[in-house]
C-alpha cells in the first residue's frame, strides 16, 4: 500500500512537468485602436517614451515610481527605466530598438523584478484616410520550462491584451482632445 501511495504522489508531482513539455513557451498579444487624427501627429507623440506616462496603464499604476532615462527620447537607443515597489510594476527598462519614421517603433522591455525576462514590443501606425490612424500595440512574451505551464492556467493574451487596449484607449482620448 505504501508503494502505491508513493507511486501516486510521484505521478502527481511529475505530471505538471510532463505536461509543460508540450505547452508552448511563448505568447503574442496585439491590440489596436482607430484615432481620429493624422498619422504624423499620432506617431510624433508616441515616439517619445515620456508620453507613455500619460497613456500606458503600467505607467499609471504607481505614480510614485522612480524613473530614469539615458540618451535622446524619441530616438533609437533611448532607454527609460523604472523602479517600483508595486508588484504589478516592478523594476525594469524599455529601450527603443528601431524606428521606421511614421510607421513603426520597436522596443525591448527588460524586466528585472519581480521576475527577469526580456520581451520585444512594438507599435505600428497606419493611415486610414487623411485624418484617421490605426495604432497597433503588440507584445511578445516567453515563459521558460517548467513555468510555461502557467500559460494553461492564466490567459496572458487576455491579461496583457486588456492592459494594451486600455493604453490605446487612453491614447485615443489624449490625441482626440488635443
**75-111 pLDDT per residue, tens:** 999 999 999 988 888 999 999 999 999 999 999 999 9
| pLDDT at residue 145 is higher than 80 | no
**How would residue 135 be classed by pLDDT, with cut points 50, 70 and 90?**
very high
* pLDDT at 158 (0 to 100): 74
**How would residue 73 be classed by pLDDT, with cut points 50, 70 and 90?**
very high
Q: Does 121 or 153 have the greater pLDDT score?
A: 121
Name the grid cell of 75.
530616438
Calculate what percentage of the chain has a pLDDT beyond 70: 85
* pLDDT at 7 (0 to 100): 83
- Domains parsed from the chain with CATH numbers: 2-177 (3.30.530.20)
* pLDDT at 137 (0 to 100): 96
* Residues 6 or more apart whose Cβ sits within 8 Å of residue 124: 103, 104, 135, 136, 138
Q: Cα torsion for 48, 108, 72, 113, to the nearest 10°? A: 100
- For residue 176, the surrounding DSSP H or E stretch is helix 156-177
* pLDDT at 77 (0 to 100): 97
**How would residue 133 be classed by pLDDT, with cut points 50, 70 and 90?**
very high
**How would residue 127 be classed by pLDDT, with cut points 50, 70 and 90?**
very high
DSSP track, 93-105: EEEEEEEETTTEE
Amino acid at each position: 500500500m505504501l508503494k502505491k501511495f508513493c507511486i501516486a504522489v510521484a505521478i502527481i508531482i511529475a505530471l505538471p512537468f510532463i505536461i509543460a513539455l508540450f505547452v508552448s513557451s511563448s505568447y503574442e498579444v496585439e491590440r489596436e485602436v482607430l484615432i481620429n487624427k493624422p498619422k504624423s501627429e499620432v506617431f510624433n507623440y508616441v515616439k517619445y517614451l515620456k508620453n507613455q506616462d500619460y497613456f500606458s496603464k503600467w505607467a499609471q499604476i504607481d505614480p510614485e515610481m522612480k524613473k530614469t532615462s539615458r540618451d535622446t527620447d524619441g530616438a533609437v537607443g533611448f532607454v527609460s527605466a523604472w523602479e517600483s515597489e508595486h508588484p504589478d510594476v516592478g523594476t525594469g527598462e524599455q529601450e527603443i530598438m528601431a524606428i521606421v519614421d511614421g510607421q513603426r517603433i520597436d522596443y525591448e522591455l527588460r524586466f528585472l523584478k519581480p521576475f527577469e525576462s526580456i520581451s520585444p514590443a512594438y507599435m505600428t501606425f497606419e493611415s486610414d484616410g487623411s485624418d484617421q490612424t490605426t495604432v497597433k500595440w503588440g507584445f511578445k512574451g516567453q515563459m521558460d520550462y517548467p513555468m510555461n505551464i502557467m500559460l494553461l492556467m492564466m490567459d496572458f493574451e487576455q491579461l496583457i491584451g486588456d492592459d494594451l487596449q486600455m493604453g490605446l484607449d487612453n491614447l485615443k482620448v489624449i490625441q482626440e482632445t488635443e
